[in-house]
Amino acid sequence: MSDMAHNCLSVSVATDFDVKQKIAEAKESCQQQGLRFTAQRKQIYRHILEATTPLGAYDILALMQQQHNESMMTQSKSKSKKSVAPPTVYRGLEFLLKAGFIHQLISINAFVPCCHPRQPHLAVFLMCKQCGRVQEYSHATLRAFIEQTKDATGFSPHRSVFEISGLCHQCHC
């Protein structure tokens, strides 16, 4: 990653992303890696991309169930489809996390889209306590900090999540 900061504007605002483009990129990335980007994974990813705040697994489950119920109303009663179960959502989230398409916010157990999923990076998540928006901020100094800490302590990190809660610029003003 370059020394230039990758600063993603509020990841929680749907207009920050071209949802169709992000989904197409995810599909292409999965094809290149020999991974399956199933309809359910796509649906979970779409909900996260379109959300105005971070979504938890049960928020996603509720959205998927609502879509399922709406589609059932338009289909004949003879075509019965299974309802969406929590393990389906959890497996989809796990896939999207491993593929690097989303991030998990540990403190609130919720998910946000990754601003630049094709680039390895560390990020700080700035979480507004008032409006719920989350901003992903990446900079080369974060990786340097982790490397210095690793070298100084001998600790080998497998995962790091930096979350800062406070007030965003809009709510602070």
Q: Which of 53-62, 66-75, 127-136 has the lowest mean pLDDT?
A: 66-75
Q: With contact defined as beta carbons under 8 Å apart, do 130 and 94 qualify?
A: no
Burial zone of 77 (CB within 10 Å; 0-12 exposed, 13-18 middle, 19+ buried)? exposed
Between CA 121 and CA 104 the distance in angstroms is 14
Does 168 carry a binding-site annotation?
Answer: yes
| Average pLDDT across the chain, whole number | 86
Does 131 carry a binding-site annotation?
Answer: yes
CB atoms within 10 A of CB 158: 4
Please compute the mean of the pLDDT values over residues 138-156 and round it to a whole number: 90
| Residue-wise pLDDT tens digits, 127-144 | 999 999 999 988 888 888
Between CA 63 and CA 23 the distance in angstroms is 18
Closest residue by Cα to residue 134 from 160, 161, 166: 166
Structural domains in the chain, CATH included, are 6-172 (1.10.10.10)
